[in-house]
Structure 1
Amino acid sequence: MAEIRPLRAWRYHPRFAKQIEDYTSPLFDVISEAQCRMLYQNPYNSIHLSVPQDVPPYENVARRLEAWKREGILVHDPVPAIYVYYQYFSLPGIDKTFCRKGFIANIKAYDWEERVVLRHENTIPQSVEDRLEMLRHTRLNVAPTHGLYTDPSHCLEPLMDEAMQAPLYETEDYQGVVDKLAVIHDAEAIRCFIDLMRDKAVILADGHHRYSASLAYRKERMRQNPHHSGHEPYNYHLMYFTNTEADDIRILPTHRLISGLENFDPQSFCAALEPYFTIKPVADPYTLQEIITGKPWAFGVILPGRYLKIRLKAELTDKLEDLVPWDFPDLIKRLDLTVLHALVIEKALGIPGKEQAKSKSIHYTRSLGECVDKVRSGEAQLALINREISIETVKEVCYSGHTLPQKSTYFYPKVVCGFLFGSVHDDEFNALADRLFS
């Protein structure tokens, strides 16, 4: 199944280690314009490699990367390693500090059809092409994607815990999360990681566009290489792996904001919901998330001056396969978000399913407070609040070969960019020590 191998990462010179948070940045698909403007002020922040201002042309970022290597801003670790990455975080309303434990390694960029790396969402071609151009010009994975493996025995965690006794970096990131990075050089320990992953499938939690770019790059280079062996650097992709059996895998919900609908009338909207949902008023919109927690097919609705909890009528729960008008397998039809998009957004709001992915009337946010504020200010006509999806549901859908509805998952916290970079450059990959693990 999954072939992984250690890597010799490019990292900031040790003189930057104590101020490493000055050089980290959010991932390219979650960073805000305000964060970009602030981080651009540091000429050596990782933002200049992940979301550079002067691209296109992509040659600019390639020249910058080579300059950073030449000037010693980035240095190449001398021997292959597994990099251990822990993230300590808390969540509102929960009196606990979570620790998501994982490790960073290279994985072969498998075709989706091989069913080794499993996706749970589709990609936007334009975003894939941007990441592909970056890869073509830099031959660098700027940040790891996030993959999930399943190991009920937790046999790697003691090795990771031991390494974390002497972290390379410890910092607090833009999310308020404490990030720690450590390293494992011991060949016997590294072999344990390789052997465990050999019979695992990996669910891609985060980074579908970057993984798709690596896959496209691999295919492109294979076509150009008549002597392709499967061991060339271009075959590999940088990934952060976490265990689905840990209790610190958190998936936060993403809510829907609706705006710009012509002739929208809240009363008519509620009347259109009545055939499908029981409707109950709620006094405080900030309690909606708590109210729907643990209740299948329950949603919050924020309207101007009115807040509702809606839940699919009990007598309809066995008829979802017929109620949802789309050509989906039954497993997908019974998901909360499928019901929301089919019965609320299509039937009650009139936005056809085939138009929803590109609709300018549907916006997404993880913030309940933003939903309340935008409806109250008139920026949005209503907001739809949904509950988080479980890791078991994600696994079930991925193993079935299907994908989840758009914006179903937000794995929290996000990996930061800047701790390490993974080269797929021919001259920087296959050192003698690397070949011990190939």
Structure 2
Amino acid sequence: MAEIKPFRAWRYNEILGENIDELTSPLFDVVSEKYREKLYKNEFNSIHISVPKEGPDGELLERRIEDWKSKDVIIQDKTPAIYVYYQYFKLPRDSKEYCRKGFICNIRLYDWEDNVLLRHEDTMPHSVDDRKKLLEHTQMHVSPTHGLYTDPEKSIETYMDNAIHSPIYDCEDYQGVRDVLGVIHDYEVIQEIMTLLKDKQVILADGHHRYQGALAYLHQQRHNNSNHTGDEPCNFHTMYLTNTESDDLRIFPTHRLIRKIKKFNPEQFLEKLSEYFHIRSLDNDEDVNEVISGKKWAFGLMMGDEVYKIRLRQEKYYEIEWEVPEVLKQLDITILHYFIMEKVLGIKKEKQPSSKKIRFERSMSTCIKKAISGSVQAAIVTQEIPMQTVKDVCFSGYTLPQKSTYFYPKVICGYLFGSIKPEDNNAKIDRSF
């Protein structure tokens, strides 16, 4: 199954690392344009190599990487290691402090049909090409993707807890999350972690475009090199791995915003919905989450300052004509996209992923604001997808509908970078640790 190994990370030099919070950045697909421009003002911020202003395939990017190396802006660790990464966070109206525990390593790149690395969503070609070009010109995995393994016994957690007591970095990021990075050099512990993953499948939680881009680059290298052995560094990918059995693994819902529907009429929309859904008016938009929580095929609906709970009529479920397996048909998101998007609004299944009439929004407060302001015609509030559902879908060989999950918190960029250059990957683990 999954083959992992330690690696020698490139990291900011000791002086710059003292202010690591000024050098970290959000992942390429979540950073806003406004925040990106702010980060560009720091010449050494990691945004310059993760989302370069000049684009992912320029000579300027290659020169920047070499310049950072030659001036010791970034320095490679001398010994291969596994890096422990803990993220501490709180949720609104919840006093508990959560901690998502995991570790960063190199993992072999697997094609989807190998059934070792399982994806849970599809990718968009232009974003895959963008990430492939970035890897080609930086020769680095500039931010780790996020994978999930299953270990009910939590057999390596004690080792990770010990490592995190002496952190390399400890700072608060743009999400308000405390990110702590430790390191494991111990040969025996590393071997135990590697052995744990040998019989595991890994679910890709976040970073589908980065992983697919690395896979495309690997295929290109195989094609160009008749002597390809499979041991070259480009056969591996830097990944953050967390345990599906952790109590602090959070998956947020992604809500849907409806806009640009011609001749949209709220009363007629409700009338069409009533053919498929039970509809109940609510007094307060802040009650939506509690009212729909845990109820199958139930959603919140906001139009202007009107708020509703809608729930599919049980008998209507059997009218679904999409040819999808039962494990997907049962999903709330499938119900939403079949009955609301296609049957009521007339947006066909094949058009939905690229439709400008549908937008995705994680923030509940943003949904409320946009609905009340009229900047969207309707906001549809969804529920969290349980981790077990993600596992069931992935292990069945299928993928979830687009934007079904939002794993929180996001991994940050800037703590470490993983090189795919041969000369950066020839050191052995020091058995003296």
- Code of the residue aligned with 2:345 in structure 1: it is L
Q: How does 1:186-225 map to 2 (within 5 A)?
A: 186-225=186-225
1:413 aligned partner = 409
Q: Could you state the TM-score of these two structures normalised by the residue count of structure 1?
A: 0.97
SS at match of 2:354: coil
3-state SS of paired residue (1:106):
strand
User: For the structure 1 residues 57 and 80, does the alpha-carbon distance in structure 2 shift closer, same or farther, using more than 3 Å as the test?
Assistant: closer
RMSD between aligned residues: 1.1
AA aligned opposite 2:244: T
In structure 2, the CA distance between the partners of 1:336 and 1:411, relative to structure 1 (3 Å rule), is same
Are 1:401 and 2:386 matched, yes or no? no
Contact 2:56-2:137 at 8 Å conserved across structures: no
Deviations 1:297-316 (CA, angstroms, capped at 9, x unpaired): 00000012311001112344
1:392 aligns with 2:367: no
Alignment of 1:163-312 (within 5 A): 163-312=163-312
Q: Which residue of 1 aligns with 2:65?
A: 65
> Is the CA contact (8 Å cut-off) linking 1:84 and 1:104 kept in structure 2?
yes
Aligned-partner residue type, residue 427 of structure 1: E
Offset of residue 93 of structure 1? 2.1
Instruction: Report how many aligned residue pairs link the two structures.
Output: 431
Q: Trace 1:370-385 onto structure 2 (pairs within 5 A).
A: 370-385=366-381
Which residue in the other structure is 1:138 paired with? 138
Whole-angstrom CA distance in 1 between matches of 2:58 and 2:148: 31
Indicate the residue corresponding to 2:153 in structure 1. Answer: 153
The 2-side partners of 1:169 and 1:419 are apart by 8
Is the CA contact (8 Å cut-off) linking 1:58 and 1:133 kept in structure 2? no
Distance 1:19 1:430 in 2: 30
* Kept in 2: contact 1:120–1:404 (CA 8 A): yes
Whole-Å separation in 2 of the counterparts to 1:277 and 1:365: 23
Which whole-Å CA distance do the structure 2 matches of 1:314 and 1:348 have between them?
17
Contact map agreement 1:20 1:169 (CA 8 A) in 2:
yes
- 2:340 is the counterpart of 1:344: yes
Secondary structure of the 2:104 match is strand
- 1:431 Cα offset (Å): 2.2
Over 3 Å counting, the alpha-carbon distance change for 1:133 and 1:57 in structure 2 is closer
For residues 199 and 62 of structure 1, what CA distance do their matches in structure 2 show? 38
Alpha-carbon contact 2:56-2:133 (below 8 Å) kept = no
CA distance in 2, matches of 1:261, 1:153: 51
How far apart are residue 138 of structure 1 and its match?
A: 1.3
Residue 10 (structure 1) aligns with: 10
Which residues in structure 2 correspond to 1:36-185 (within 5 Å)? 36-55=36-55, 57-185=57-185
Counterpart pick for 2:354 among 355, 358, 363: 358
Mapped to 1, the partners of 2:416 and 2:344 lie a distance apart of 48
Q: Distance in 2 between matches of 1:362 and 1:314?
A: 26
Q: One-letter code of the match for 2:407?
A: F
C-alpha distance in structure 2 between counterparts of 1:56 and 1:416, whole Å: 19
Question: Is this contact kept in 2: 1:299–1:387, CA < 8 A?
Answer: yes
- How does the TM-score come out when normalised to structure 2? 0.98
Structure 2 spans left out of the alignment, 5+ residues:
none
Write the distance in 2 (CA, Å) between the matches of 1:196 and 1:248. Answer: 21
Displacement after TM superposition at 1:56 (Å): 5.2
For residues 273 and 428 of structure 2, the distance between their equivalents in structure 1, rounded to whole angstroms, comes to 65
Amino acid in structure 2 at the alignment position of 1:133: K
Structure 1, unaligned runs of 5 or more = none
Q: Work out whether residues 334 and 401 of structure 2, in 8 Å CA contact, stay in contact via their aligned partners in 1.
A: yes
Q: Partners of 2:376 and 2:41 in 1: how far apart?
A: 34
Give % identity: 52
Counterpart Cα distance in 1 of 2:81 and 2:140: 17
Answer yes or no: is the 8 Å Cα contact 2:4–2:106 preserved in 1: yes
Using the TM superposition, give the Cα deviation of residue 163 of structure 1 relative to its aligned residue in structure 2, in angstroms: 0.4
